[in-house]
Amino acid sequence: MNSDQNTSASPKSSLNLSLQDRNTFGFDASAELAYDITAANQIPAVIEQITQKKLPWRVLGGGSNVILPKVLPGVTLLMNIVGQEIIASNADSTLIAVGGGVNWHDFVAWTLDKDLPGLENLALIPGTVGAAPIQNIGAYGVEIGEYIDSVEAFDSKSHVFVTLTKDACQFAYRDSYFKKNPHRYIVTKVVFKIPKQWQARIHYADLAKQFFRQSSPSPEDIFLAVCKIRTHKLPDPKVIGNAGSFFQNPIVPGKQYDTLLQKHPGLVSYPDATGKRKLAAGWLIDQCGFKGQRMGNVGVYEKQALVLVNHGNGTAQDILRFAKCIQDKVQKEFGVSLDIEPNIL
C-alpha cells in the first residue's frame, strides 16, 4: 500500500461542505471546515493546528453509523486513505494491509476475487475499513475482530502513530479499545489476517435457512446469500435514509433472562460468550408495536424494527426524539434499556 508516498502533506480543504450525501441517514448536515485526508502523513499537521486553535473535531468515514447535526463545528476529517495489498503469506495465513478509507463491501469482494475467503458473512455492511474495528462490525455469526492482525492509528493525545495488536484492540460485541477511548485515535490502516483453512460459517439462523439443502456452499455462495438477505431485510440508504441497526442488542444477566422468558415465552435471544444472554432488540421493539410506525419525518422500518429511517427532511433531533419514545416503552414493558448504536456527533 503506497498511500503515504507521492502525496502532499497538505490535504485539500473545503468550507461549509454539505454532508447530505456522506451520511446514510441523508440528514441535511454540513461541515464548517473539512479536510480530505488521502494519506496518513497529512494527519499530524492537521491535528497540531486543531490542538493549537482548540477546535472541535471528528473523523467521518462512510457516514453509515452516525447521527449528524445541522452543522458540524470546527474540523471534520474525511477519511479517504485508499489502497490494499497482500503484505505477507505463509502456509497458515495471508496478511492484507488496507487503507482506512476503503469501502468495506468493496474490500470483502476484493478478498474473494483474490481467493482469500473468510469475510463473506460480512458482505454489504456499509461504511469503511477504518470504521470496522471501532465498533467491531459483525453479522451472521462473524465479527471482524477475529480477522484483524493489527490496527494503525494516529493517537491525537500523544501525537504519534501507534500500532495496536488484535489483543490490544480489546474486541467484544460491538465494542473495542477505540470505542472505550472515543475521540482519541484516527484509524489509518487495518492489517487483516485471513487463515488459509476456510470453513463455511452458516450456523446463523438466516443463513442456515438458505443452505438447508446445500451442505457445502462456496464462499461466493455465502457472499451472495448474505447480500440477498441484507437487501431483503435492510433498507437501501440510497432509497430510504438509515444507519442499519439503531440499537445494540441488550445483554442481560441469566437471572433477568429467566424471569423475562417466563413472562414472555416468545422472547428471541442468543447465548452470549460471557454466559449472559443477548436479547434481540428488534423483537422487543416489534412487540411494543413500533414496526412501520412514523413520527413526522422519521420512523421504524416496516420490515425490521431495529432499523430507524428518515422518510425525508428528518433531522437528528427527530430521530433522537423517536428513539427516546422507543427506549422508554421497551424499558416500561421489559425492564431493559436499549443503547443507541450509531455515534451521535
Residues with a catalytic annotation lie at 174, 245, 341
For 78-101, the DSSP string reads EE----EEEEEE-SSEEEEEEETT
Is 175 or 341 the residue whose CB approaches ligand EPU more closely? 341
- Nearest distance in Å: CB 278, ligand EPU: 8
Residue located via cell numbers 502532499: 8
Task: Give CA separation, 10 vs 50, 69, 226, 341, in Å.
Answer: 14, 27, 40, 33
Tell me the Cα Rg of the chain: 21
* Selection from 122, 126, 42, 49 nearest residue 78 by Cα: 42
Is 164 or 251 the residue whose CB approaches ligand EPU more closely? 251
Distance CA 237, CA 110 (A): 22
Is 184 or 233 the residue whose CB approaches ligand EPU more closely? 233
- Nearest distance in Å: CB 114, ligand EPU: 24
- Nearest distance in Å: CB 287, ligand EPU: 7
User: Which residues make up the interface to ligand EPU (CB under 6 A)?
Assistant: 139-140, 206, 233-234, 244-245, 248-249, 268, 280, 282-283, 286, 291, 304-306, 341
- Nearest distance in Å: CB 69, ligand EPU: 21
Is 249 or 310 the residue whose CB approaches ligand EPU more closely? 249
H-helix segments, 181-265: 205-210, 219-233, 254-263
CB 140 within 8 A of CB 204: yes
